Amino acid sequence: METVAPAVDLVLGASACCLACVFTNPLEVVKTRLQLQGELKARGTYPRHYRGFVASVVAVARADGLSGLQKGLAAGLLYQGLMNSVRFYCYSLACQAGLTQQPGGTVVAGAVAGALGAFVGSPAYLVKTQLQAQTVAAMAVGHQHHHQSVLGALETIWQQQGLAGLWRGVGGAVPRVMVGSAAQLATFASAKAWVQEKQWLPEDSWLVALAGGMISSIAVVAVMTPFDVASTRLYNQPADGAGRGQLYGGLTDCLVKIWRQEGPLALYKGLGPAYLRLGPHTILSMLFWDELRKLARRRQHQGT
């Protein structure tokens, strides 16, 4: 993969993912509701307000209005901007240093870059999850936090739980983004190179990046969904005054409780919307990123 300056990748990566977020946020709302539905309850013992993707979209729109499908968008954009600026910057540094040319280098670089990005963006993801879970009492799933805005949510958490409370749930977010980022960046680079090698499409065509993103999205969803379910639960659970979760003690405790009380398939709750969200988001963000990088490289060449 040709490189551009890491600072340029910082801006391009964040911009591309924020643009993708605008289109995929409604899917994130549906996915969040499905992942919280029936929390720590055996199948068949709770009302299912959300059933599948299409019915869930309709349910959200009826309960919260069409604007409800964009709940948490501001927090989502903040998260994408923070997380991906760090992620793409660090990955670009690794590319520039030649680390991604080593065996397994793309996977390691993607995982480390993702972990750093997830840590920086964790407060925004915390608020995003809690805002997207909020709805009318008749359709509520999971704990309801009753935030009025992104800034209001951050202020409330700060006042009630202190600075550490803003990073509650980060123990689930870092592994989630590590595996997702490693799968995304590694498979996108290799898938794009494979498509170019087959010469099915013009080498500089945006369709090459699109095909690479489509292949990459399958790998991302397959490895990321269990961590995504656990991360949603950890972020949305009620907390005590010290910021400690009242339902789960951490990532491992969360995964074990879900497995034991809801069954192993519960780790893939919301898989359909997760793919419909992660798939297009991966495709769009990697496509936008790749096209913006091409534009940046052309301008660099023109400048020389």
CA distance 285 to 77: 13
Each residue's pLDDT tens digit, 124-160: 999 999 999 999 999 999 999 999 999 999 999 999 9
Each residue's pLDDT tens digit, 197-227: 777 777 777 677 777 777 777 888 888 899 9
Count Cβ atoms within 10 A of the Cβ of residue 222 and give its class: 0-12 exposed, 13-18 middle, 19 or more buried: middle
Looking at per-residue pLDDT, the higher value among 304 and 60 belongs to: 60
Radius of gyration for the alpha carbons in the chain, expressed in angstroms and rounded: 19
pLDDT of 83 above 70? yes
| Position 102 confidence tier, pLDDT thresholds 50, 70, 90 | confident
CA distance 28 to 31: 5
CA distance 40 to 225: 17
Each residue's pLDDT tens digit, 16-35: 888 888 988 999 999 999 99
- Confidence (pTM): 0.83
Q: Which of 76, 87, 88, 100 is nearest to 19 (CA)?
A: 76
